[in-house]
Amino acid sequence: MTASLGLVVWSDYLCPWCYIATQRLERVVAEFGDAVTLEWRTFLLRPHPDPSRTLEKFRAYTQSWLRPAEESDAPVFRPWESDAGPPSHSVPPHLVAKAAAALGPDAFHRMHGRLLEAYFAENRDITHAATLVTLWAEAGLPPDAFLRAGDPAVLQQVVDEHNAAVTLGLSGVPAAMLVGGDVPVTGALPIGSYRRWIERALARS
């Protein structure tokens, strides 16, 4: 079946609620098979490094991950115990995700999931270059293709997607919008809400 409905989703790899939304959206979209597609776009919650953010402050912040961890369908969250970090800013993991996307949807899916799991469940600094190289290998992607993450055109794509989201009025993520729509829905909705939203949209189309 040709996809008849597309969803655009804005997300950031440093956002715990985006991790939950990813799990829910991918699960519910899989229920509809080829009738629905997801397009992931960049939103930068931390567009620039913050030199004042210490590891101690970051560890204290990650205690807030316990709130999304209480959701009944939440993936694993582990407040930061590592000596790595703190993560610098949102750009590096998005560059790597775009490099994976250039290899195709499956490569992006693997890298997208690996980045989120490594950060929230494994306490790995996904803004550190060496960590990103390792995660790329763990996702089973060709080593030479990682170099695309350093392409200025990829950085421009990341910046352009973020700026376009801001122009739409987004100030936070996760957020999703039907392709052709003009009002994004913000927040990690319950999976039943995503399901009903998609069912109604498919019925209209």
Q: What is the pLDDT of residues 77-120, one digit of tens each?
A: 999 999 999 999 999 999 999 999 999 999 999 999 999 999 99
How far, in Å, CA of 44 to CA of 11, rounded?
8
Count H helices and E strands in the chain, helices first. 8, 4
Specify the pLDDT at position 1: 44
CA-angle at 179, arms to 175 and 183, nearest 5°: 50
How far, in Å, CA of 60 to CA of 80, rounded?
8
Kindly report, residue by residue over 2-47, the tens digit of the pLDDT. Answer: 558 999 999 999 999 999 999 999 999 999 999 999 999 999 999 9
Indicate whether 143 pLDDT > 50.
Answer: yes
Kindly report, residue by residue over 145-185, the tens digit of the pLDDT. Answer: 999 999 999 999 999 999 999 999 999 999 999 998 888 99
- Angle at which helix 105-120 crosses helix 91-101, to 10 degrees, equals 150
Give the pTM. Answer: 0.95
How far, in Å, CA of 96 to CA of 94, rounded?
5
- The owner of tokens 């953010």 is 53
> Confidence band (pLDDT; 50, 70, 90) for 74?
very high
- Chain CA centroid to CA 5, Å: 20
